[in-house]
Amino acid sequence: MREWFQDWFDQDYAAIYSGRGPEEAEAAVAMALSLAPELARGPVLDLACGSGRHLAVLRRTNPLAFGLDLSRDLLELAPGELRGWLLRGDMRALPVREGSLVGICMWFTPFGYFSDEDNRSLLLHLRRLLAPGGILLLDYMNAQHVRANLVHEDEALHHGLRVVSRRSVEGHRLVKRMVLTRLDTGATRKVTESVRLYEPGDLRAMARECGLDVVHEAGDYGGEPFREASSPRWIGFLRPNVVEWPS
Ligand SMILES: C[S@@+](CC[C@H](N)C(=O)[O-])C[C@H]1O[C@@H](n2cnc3c(N)ncnc32)[C@H](O)[C@@H]1O
């Protein structure tokens, strides 16, 4: 059976999330470089890079940064200057040598798509790809903020698409069901996003179990310190722990 994330990240996704653009990426990458200057040099993977909005910014500082994403459609939307620095693949089987990366950045919640066991395996896999002293940046939702601000239903227009979205927390997952209607033809399409809603404490514990220390936590793309009651994001900077060996 195909998973939702194999089909959803296409031109419709790009149209609906077009507000998440280069300005946000500029701020996010500047924040990341100030908290983790290690990301400025050497091989850094923008994992699940989409159309490369963060990668384009990071590559102005770090010419060895590269990206990988599963979505052919989003990769095709990347600016021409990124050609040659983009790979298509699945994050669960990365074509990267162990210990070879100084950084891995996962921007705008490309984590939590799988089962708990597979999410944990992914973290362990990513830890193994990092060189000693490397950094894994995990840009994730703040679960408390999501629950407190959940809009159960809304309707919006995006580039010729009417989008009715219904959101709910089901078990431990944030589920967003959308009905997209093309205004020109009336054709409809249904899409469901389902992302594990880990608490910051769950993420810290999982990181520790996978041999990663949390060295910084930011609460937004401006680099404000993380506050569980109010921060929109949990942006963790994780470093391989050389003392505890992951199982
Ligand atoms: C919410 S988007 C974020 C994209 C990008 N980081 C950004 O900020 O614009 C999630 C991304 O994860 C990618 N993705 C989903 N499942 C994946 C997988 N198994 N392996 C690699 N990429 C995947 C999608 O194609 C999509 O580009």
Q: What is the residue range of 73's domain?
A: 4-141+198-240
Q: Judge if 81 and 23 occupy the same domain.
A: yes
Residue 159 has pLDDT above 80, yes or no: yes
Residue whose CA is at the smallest distance from ligand 1 atom 19: 90
Q: Judge if 209 and 160 occupy the same domain.
A: no
**Across all residues in the chain, what is the average pLDDT?**
96
246 within some domain: no
What's the 69 CA to ligand 1 centre distance in angstroms?
A: 6
Task: Find the CATH number of the domain harbouring 27.
Answer: 3.40.50.150
pLDDT for res 247: 52
Q: Judge if 102 and 149 occupy the same domain.
A: no
Q: Judge if 178 and 202 occupy the same domain.
A: no
Q: What is the pLDDT of residues 8-42, one digit of tens each?
A: 999 999 999 998 889 999 999 999 999 999 999 99
Q: Judge if 112 and 39 occupy the same domain.
A: yes
Looking at the 3D structure of the chain, how many domains does it have?
2
Using H for helix, E for strand and C for coil, what is the string for the chain?
CCCHHHHCCCHHHHHHCCCCCHHHHHHHHHHHHHHCHHHHCCCEEEECCCCCHHHHHHHHHCCCEEEEECCHHHHHCCCHHHCCCEEECCCCCCCCCCCCEEEEEECCCCCCCCCHHHHHHHHHHHHHHEEEEEEEEEEEECHHHHHHCCCCEEEEEECCEEEEEEEEEECCEEEEEEEEEECCCCCEEEEEEEEECCCHHHHHHHHHHCCEEEEEEECCCCCCECCCCCCCEEEEEEEECCCCCCC
What's the 243 CA to ligand 1 centre distance in angstroms?
A: 32
107 lines ligand 1 (CB under 6 A): yes
28 lines ligand 1 (CB under 6 A): no
| Atom of ligand 1 minimally distant from the CA of 106 | 6
- pTM, full prediction: 0.96
53 lines ligand 1 (CB under 6 A): yes
66 within some domain: yes
Q: Judge if 133 and 44 occupy the same domain.
A: yes
Q: What is the pLDDT of residues 220-242, one digit of tens each?
A: 999 999 999 999 999 999 999 98
140 lines ligand 1 (CB under 6 A): no
| Atom of ligand 1 minimally distant from the CA of 113 | 16
Q: Judge if 181 and 203 occupy the same domain.
A: no
Q: What is the pLDDT of residues 90-114, one digit of tens each?
A: 999 999 999 999 999 999 999 999 9
